[in-house]
Amino acid sequence: MSNLGTESNPLRVAIVGAGPTGFYAAEHLFKQKDLVIEVDMFDRLPTPFGLVRGGVAPDHQKIKTVTKAFDRIAKNSRFRFYGYVEIGRDINVEDLRCHYHQIIYTTGAQTDRQMNIPGEDLQGSHPATEFVAWYNGHPDYRDYEFDLSGERAAVVGIGNVALDVARILARDPDELAKTDIADHALEALRHSNIKDIYVLGRRGPAQAKFTTPEAKELGELEGADVFTMPDEMELDELSEQSLAQSQDRGTMKKVEILQSYTDNKPSGKPKKLIVRFLVSPVELYGNEAGQVTGMKLVKNKLYASGAGTLRPKATDQFEEIPVDIVFRSVGYRGVALPGVPFYENWGVILNEKGRVLNPETNKPVIGEYTGGWIKRGPSGVIGTNKPDAVDTVNCMLEDLEAGKTLTPAQPDATAARDFIKQQQPNYFSYEDWLRLDEIEVAKGKETGQPRVKFTRVAEMLAALGRQ
Ligand code: NAP
């Protein structure tokens, strides 16, 4: 092994993407006591934490306390944050190769998957990812508009994101006013006329992707009654068999909770949340102005696929429901980074165990790695990314040991900083972020919220006294 990773020749690592996986990777790198490692973390936004800030629902504040652990990691004297520096806009991958021995891409999954049905692009049909980013104050979505003047909303998909969206639509705005929901979204939700919210699952209750606590939470909403349909709650034979075999207590509990909602009676709450199963949208209808007005659903049956999972199959029974707005919550999808091999079919960086692969040779690209959703696809909770990041970092350490790293022309922290400053004079350091954080939290104290978010980059710059 060369003397790389020593005081006189530190291993310089760039992490692209300041979400949970990026921080978990930094943490594991810093745990290597016999190596001197410097980490520079990049994000295209001035603010760190990825989906913890821009994705986790505002009424799930407890989940966001994970950022305290990220702050501790960032305190390491060998850690630097370069916020508001976008790879492909301000600097490129070639520049990173000039300054770092190893690069990890942890950019998450920034866009949505498609349903591929007629009418999907009508006005009023939105990817849930955009609505989530909007109500969480992501600057790129600040000026998006969602017309909540109609009475009926449909959320397609039964993952945790679908339930986040349904809850935000269903909650009493006064409850949301105690969270860190973006001001513009709270204002729009205060004027919302939405009364009926359908959540549509293509498979049955035993296959619902949302987790048990989230299913329970639906029954505890102050502003909405939740209902399920008795005929959709009866488990089919295949689901019964599969549950009996797996003895999955979490799923059994979830099914039980969902079944209990069939007995609910309207209690006078202003909104209704109706969770449907075994139905797939096959077409969205619109009016002359191109605005969505309805949805055609087909009833599904389950069949056992070769892969051992139960899949939905369309029957010849259809129904139509009137809807004024649709949120497609059928999964996130990764976006390619310029200059980094990408596997379009899965929407991930082409990799093996986190080592980026050259698509022509299928061999690892020296010094380049990936972790989190852009490595494995959008699955799991925040904590799932910790072992994932550790696996990637272990590959990096193995390769370092074998002498397989990049040989950057300028492996020096000051040279990197000077270059970045030249490319993006307005970059945000971690200290800058901590100042923003302090201002947001102080504003929140005045309004009884955990924080009041800055939702425009210009406002963030101005808050730090920059142009
Ligand atoms: P997800 O869990 O993969 O759920 C996607 C849903 O969309 C599934 O119900 C899927 O059905 C359905 N779907 C996919 N294609 C469809 C189609 N063409 N038509 C109808 N339905 C379709 O994805 P997600 O909800 O976006 O969540 C992403 C990850 O973040 C998950 O791991 C989730 O647990 C996590 N997350 C966690 C929390 C939390 O911990 N509270 C909050 C938010 C997100 P099938 O199952 O039939 O494919």
- Domain positions in the chain: 11-110+334-428, 112-331
CATH number of 11-110+334-428: 3.40.50.720
Q: Whose CA is nearest to atom 17 of ligand 1?
A: 115
Annotate 369-416 with DSSP letters as a single string. EE-THHHH-S-S-GGGHHHHHHHHHHHHHHHHHTT-S---S---HHHH
- How much is the pLDDT for 2? 56
* Ligand 1 closest atom vs CA 55: 43
Candidate from 125, 161, 251 with most ligand 1 atoms within 8 A of CB, to mutate: 161
Residue written as token pair 């992707």: 209
Q: At what angle do helices 128-135 and 183-190 cross, to 10 degrees?
A: 110
Do the domains 11-110+334-428 and 112-331 sit in the same CATH topology, yes or no? no
Radius of gyration of the chain (CA): 24
Is residue 371 lining ligand 1, measured as CB closer than 6 Å? no
**359 C-alpha vs ligand 1 centroid, how far in Å?**
29
Residue 450's closest CA among 49, 61, 20, 172? 61
The token pair that represents 238 in the structure block: 């295949």
pTM summary value: 0.96
Tally Cβ neighbours within 10 Å of residue 462: 12
* Nearest Cα residue to 16 out of 32, 36, 40: 40
* pLDDT per residue as tens digits for the range 268-291: 999 999 999 999 999 999 999 999
Compute the distance between CA of residue 250 and CA of residue 363 in angstroms, rounded to an integer: 40
Establish whether residue 115 lines the binding site of ligand 1, counting it when its CB lies within 6 angstroms of any ligand atom: yes
3 state DSSP class of 180: coil
| CA 78 and chain centroid, separation | 28
The rounded distance, in Å, linking the Cα atoms of 443 and 446 is 5
Ranges of the chain with pLDDT below 50: 1
Residue 462 tokens read as: 């101005």
376 CA to middle of ligand 1, Å? 15
**pLDDT tens, residue by residue, 238-248:** 999 999 999 99
Residue with the smallest CA separation from ligand 1 atom 46 is 209
Closest Cα to atom 15 of ligand 1: 330
How far is residue 389's CA from residue 28's CA, in Å, rounded to a whole number?
8
Spatial distance between the Cα atoms of 4 and 31, rounded to a whole number of angstroms: 16
Q: Which CATH architecture has domain 112-331?
A: 3-Layer(bba) Sandwich (3.50)
Which residue lies with its CA nearest to atom 4 of ligand 1? 159
**By the 8 A CB rule, do 200 and 297 touch?**
yes
Kindly state if the Cβ of 164 falls inside 6 Å of ligand 1. yes
Is residue 92 exposed (0-12), middle (13-18) or buried (19+ Cβ within 10 Å)? Answer: middle
Distance between Cα 329 and ligand 1 center (Å): 7
